[in-house]
Amino acid sequence: MIKRELISQNIDYMLQHLDEGMTIKEVANHFHYSEFYFSRIFKTVTGESVYAFIKHLKMDQSAIDIKLKQHKAITDIGLDYGYSASNYSSAFRQHHSLSPTEFRKSIETTSISNPFHPEIVDTFETFDDYDARMKIVLLQDVQVIYERVFGNYGGLKEKWFQFLDTYKEHIQDDTLMIERFYDDPTISSLNRCICDLCITVDNTCKLENIVTIKGGKFATYRFEGEIKDIFRVLQGIFAVWFPKSGYEMDEKYGLNIYREIDRATGCVIMDLGIPVK
């Protein structure tokens, strides 16, 4: 647990400083570990070297920016992540197998193939359809027990049930289940996606894996349906609604807050939230 907690803290730090030209030594020094020790446990936990992990974070997060900030110049997005125009295009193509310009042109705003169910093509609604169900709300900070999951979002249902069984003694009538997700599975490799499974707890909880999720201004969409349809709705929000909404993401993650869940049917009521400014 201690090693996983250390790496989770480091990943959070990396996400917050992707535009600052981080080195492995700087990240290790920030947490008062030797570069050798940090590099070794990082690869043990994530399966990647620190350098490779930072590079794929930059390539995946910058691709999300290209998707969401359709009016921002690609060269400016590359600069945001520390790349010159030529270096960014080369690194992007090496990682995603197409150039940033080709990627922007390939973004589909009417339908998308479902990576968890390749036989399914999900169709999006219109901007007005999404906009009618979006609300801008202010969320409060919440303290949560969390476990960070590396890998395919398609397996989250089973991981959630395991998580809830592990921490069942901390679940009360007003406990919220929250997912904090960092990746777009249409962009990131499915085995590299990161998600935090969280349940809210009060200040008396003394477990080690406690973190505060920062509140603030969120664009939220009330979803009611089957878990398998969450992917389609989220992709529609990000591909259709967000680029035309006039908002910018304020953090490099989204929040899914469960309001009701039926284990037997797989149906949920939840708020799909995007931190905005």
Q: What is the pLDDT of residue 128?
A: 97
Among residues 86, 106, 126, which one ends one of the domains? 106
Instruction: Give yes or no: residues 89 and 164 share one domain.
Output: no
Quickly list DSSP for 29-81. HHTT--HHHHHHHHHHHHSS-HHHHHHHHHHHHHHHHHHH-TTS-HHHHHHHT
3-class state of residue 197 by DSSP: strand
Tell me how far the alpha carbon of residue 218 is from its chain's centroid.
Answer: 15
Contact between 180 and 254 under an 8 Å Cβ cutoff? The reply is yes
Q: What is the pLDDT of residue 2?
A: 57
Tokens of 54: 């930072």
**What is the number of domains present in the chain?**
2
* One pLDDT digit (tens) per residue for the chain, 277 residues: 557 777 888 888 888 888 777 788 888 888 888 888 889 988 888 888 988 999 999 999 999 999 999 889 999 999 999 899 889 999 999 999 999 999 999 998 899 888 888 888 899 999 999 999 999 999 999 999 999 988 888 888 889 989 999 999 999 999 999 999 999 998 998 888 899 999 999 989 989 889 999 999 999 999 999 988 999 999 999 999 999 999 999 988 999 999 998 888 889 999 999 999 9
Instruction: Give yes or no: residues 147 and 57 share one domain.
Output: no
Contact between 223 and 268 under an 8 Å Cβ cutoff? The reply is yes
Within-domain flag for 125? no
C-alpha triplet 235, 228, 108: angle, nearest 5°: 25
Maximum distance among all Cα pairs of the chain, rounded to whole angstroms: 55
Within-domain flag for 268? yes
Residues of the domain holding 225: 134-275
Instruction: Give yes or no: residues 144 and 262 share one domain.
Output: yes
Within-domain flag for 138? yes
CATH number of the domain where residue 172 is located:
3.20.80.10
> Residue 9 and residue 153: Cα distance in Å, rounded?
21
Within-domain flag for 70? yes
